[in-house]
A and B are shown apart, each in its own frame.
Chain A
Amino acid sequence: MEIIISILAGILFATAIYNLLQKQILRIIIGTVLLSHGAHLFILTMGGLKDRKPPILIDGIHEIEKYVDPLPQALILTSIVISFGITSLLLVLTYRTINENKTDDMAQLRGEENE
């Protein structure tokens, strides 16, 4: 299953990058969203996906190998929150950029040398 999820995450990366390489800002931002999903799945997979107990201690079960690796989950949680912050900022930034520059086409947002 780890291999399948890795492939899924890889596909998320691929589609994300394909969207990043587009010109319209909306597609690019969707790309970044997919990218973080891909990354989070990779982190999750790296902890192993075996059928174990959730990382909540249950009285009586003390064996370490009975629980899922909790560290990747903690890392993902941190990462999700940060991604959310960036995505929100990016959205507002995009909104303002489109309004100011009157286009949502990155190809027209190149700029010149002296301005």
Chain B
Amino acid sequence: MSNLAVLPIIIPLISGIILAFFHKKVTVSRWLTRILTIGNLGLVSYITWIVFNEGSIILETGGWEAPYGIILVADPLAITLVLTTNIVATACAFYASHSMNIKEETHYFYAFFFFLITGVSGAFLTGDLFNLFVFFEVLLMASYALIVLGGGKVQLRESIKYVLINLFSSVLFVTAVAFLYSVVGTVNMAHIAERVQEVDQKGILTTIAVLLFFVFATKAALFPLYYWMPKSYIVPNPVVSALFGALLTKVGIYSILRVFSLIFVYKLDLTHHAFIWFAGLSMIFGIIGALSTSNIKLIVAYNIIPAIGFIIMGIGVFNQDAMSGAVYYLVHDMIIKCALFLLVGTIAYVAGTSDLRKFSGLIHYYPVLGWLLFVSAFILAGVPPFSGFIGKLLLLKGALTNDEIVIVVLGLLSSLLILYSIMKIFIQGFWGEKDESFVKKPTKGFVGPVVFLLAFSVILGIGAEFIYPSIDTISTYLLDPEVYIDSVLKE
């Protein structure tokens, strides 16, 4: 037992509160934010190191023993995702001041930013289903605040849809938790897992599981529940889009990963097999969406959906390779989605429009931006030797081991079209004649965070030998719920 597990939640919370007080002092806020995110990143890296070397860190909040009090579980999966979250957050902290105007910054952007990180980290770390709901609300409330920041007409309109859909799924969430409580008499996840196992997930339990799946799937933007996502993700400031794209849907998919590897794993034919269908349809429709538009931000937003499809496919296949692949892909996608949202945000800023039909030849003025996009496209499509490749390789290998041919073919085809959808931006927007009348806007500070993120993607790919064993540890761990249950309940 160690208090370390709570720090990734408490530090952003306190940071947020501090920054809420400093909101009028922009320069102070900016630097404070940067220092705090880097500090937090360093701390989380340290915790990650401890978790992988000495085992999960379990914290019983308030000293109330499991399963009665709320438990924080910094297990390998959770801490890996918290670490990734903080990497993304650091990049965004450095990008924010460039894409935001001062008015948005002084209206508590940095405070909301930290509250969002609080919610996301909390959701990853908590071992209590109701507490997960509370953290969902924290991150959603912060996201509501961020999405309307600036308060443009379009923003307001899209955010109201966003709030309503999320509100509905939250209510459904809390109701499902209550149903589950009635059956198993507990809200501690390890305890639920133990009890569900005892009765072999019989009776109404699978139905409640499916209900929970839909709650999470709505947040994860899985087919056919993603309709609210693309539009609402592109209306706020690019840095907010990047945070959303990298973190919010991933919390949803994480919850599915957790709940359907720890608790509901006794009716695989029914639940997990259906996931593969959802995966395939998500890939198809996500791609269709990405190809349907000439709005570069929307192209990236739609690309979230097939990525979610890939991850859910791994959970559906549910073997060692596929689970490793799902986790690898999850980490990879958090990073690359953030990078891509920041990139297209920058492109739209320099081009003055996000409509691809209205600009071309940018490479003459912004070669670095162009090549970053070029590399990102390949990272996203899973071309070796980048991070997407390792994840995809594991996922497809896992699926083929289980004879899931159709989804593999879909996965390969969608990779091609994912590449096409992003390459379109490069070919149409960056290639072409030099426009002599173009007025170049400075992009100082825009590029650094993107390079920072892409560096991680490259390391995750080329340096897979250093990272894969950890991911393999995670998937072994996920496939054996006993380990989690024992670590929480039998200290």
- Chains A and B directly touch (beta carbon < 8 Å): yes
Q: Give the chain A neighbours of B126 by CB distance below 8 A.
A: none
Complex formed: what's the CA distance from A1 to B172 in Å? Answer: 23
CB within 8 Å: A-B pair count = 101
Complex formed: what's the CA distance from A85 to B138 in Å? Answer: 11
Which of A20, A86, A90, A111 interacts with B158 by CB under 8 Å?
A111
Take A32-B168, A35-B171 as given contacts and tell me if A94 and B160 are in contact as well, using a CB distance cutoff of 8 Å. yes
Are A101 and B164 closer than 8 Å at their CB atoms?
no
Q: Give the chain A neighbours of B145 by CB distance below 8 A.
A: 89
Are B156 and A114 closer than 8 Å at their CB atoms?
no
Chain A's closest residue to B298 (CB) is A113
CB interface residues, A 67-91, toward B, < 8 Å:
71-72, 75, 78-79, 82-83, 85-86, 89-90
Are A97 and B157 closer than 8 Å at their CB atoms?
yes
Are A114 and B354 closer than 8 Å at their CB atoms?
yes
Main secondary structure of the interface of B (DSSP, over half): helix
Are B294 and A100 closer than 8 Å at their CB atoms?
no
CB interface residues, B 157-181, toward A, < 8 Å:
157-161, 163-164, 167-168, 170-172, 174-175, 177-179, 181
Are A75 and B174 closer than 8 Å at their CB atoms?
yes
Q: Is B144 an interface residue (CB 8 A)?
A: yes
Are B179 and A82 closer than 8 Å at their CB atoms?
no
Give how many B residues have a beta carbon under 8 Å from the other chain's beta carbons: 40
Minimum distance in angstroms from A94 CB to a CB of chain B: 6
Chain A's closest residue to B354 (CB) is A114
Complex formed: what's the CA distance from A36 to B137 in Å? Answer: 14
Are A82 and B134 closer than 8 Å at their CB atoms?
yes
Take A46-B182, A85-B141 as given contacts and tell me if A111 and B157 are in contact as well, using a CB distance cutoff of 8 Å. yes
Minimum distance in angstroms from A39 CB to a CB of chain B: 5
Main secondary structure of the interface of A (DSSP, over half): helix
Are A35 and B168 closer than 8 Å at their CB atoms?
yes
Are B181 and A89 closer than 8 Å at their CB atoms?
no
Complex formed: what's the CA distance from A54 to B394 in Å? Answer: 55
Q: Is A109 an interface residue (CB 8 A)?
A: yes
Take A35-B168, A90-B167 as given contacts and tell me if A46 and B154 are in contact as well, using a CB distance cutoff of 8 Å. no
Q: Give the chain A neighbours of B134 by CB distance below 8 A.
A: 78, 82
Chain A's closest residue to B162 (CB) is A93
CB interface residues, A 25-79, toward B, < 8 Å:
25, 28, 32, 35-36, 38-39, 42-43, 46-47, 71-72, 75, 78-79
Are A100 and B181 closer than 8 Å at their CB atoms?
no
Complex formed: what's the CA distance from A90 to B141 in Å? Answer: 11
Which of B148, B157, B170, B295 interacts with A114 by CB under 8 Å?
B295
Minimum distance in angstroms from A51 CB to a CB of chain B: 19
Q: Give the chain B neighbours of A93 by CB distance below 8 A.
A: 144, 148, 156, 159-160, 163
Complex formed: what's the CA distance from A114 to B298 in Å? Answer: 9
Are B181 and A71 closer than 8 Å at their CB atoms?
yes
Which of A38, A86, A101 interacts with B156 by CB under 8 Å?
A101
Are A75 and B130 closer than 8 Å at their CB atoms?
yes
* Among B182, B354, B355, residue most surrounded by chain A Cβ atoms (within 10 Å): B182
Q: Give the chain A neighbours of B177 by CB distance below 8 A.
A: 75
Are A115 and B154 closer than 8 Å at their CB atoms?
yes
Are B163 and A90 closer than 8 Å at their CB atoms?
yes
Q: Give the chain B neighbours of A94 by CB distance below 8 A.
A: 160
Q: Is A23 an interface residue (CB 8 A)?
A: no
Complex formed: what's the CA distance from A71 to B294 in Å? Answer: 52
Chain B's closest residue to A82 (CB) is B137
Which of A32, A71, A97, A106 interacts with B167 by CB under 8 Å?
A32
Residues of B participating in the A interface, judged by any CB pair closer than 8 Å: 130, 134, 137, 141, 144-145, 148, 151-154, 156-161, 163-164, 167-168, 170-172, 174-175, 177-179, 181-182, 187, 231, 293-295, 298, 353-355
Q: A38-B171, A97-B160, A114-B355 are in contact. List 6 more A-B contacts (CB 8 A).
A: A75-B177, A75-B187, A89-B163, A93-B160, A96-B151, A113-B294
Q: List 17 A-B contacts (CB under 8 A).
A: A25-B160, A28-B164, A35-B168, A39-B174, A46-B179, A75-B130, A78-B134, A86-B163, A90-B167, A96-B156, A100-B151, A100-B152, A101-B157, A109-B161, A111-B158, A111-B231, A114-B295
List the 7 closest pairs (A to B, CB-CB), nearest first: A46-B182, A43-B178, A97-B156, A114-B355, A46-B178, A39-B175, A100-B153
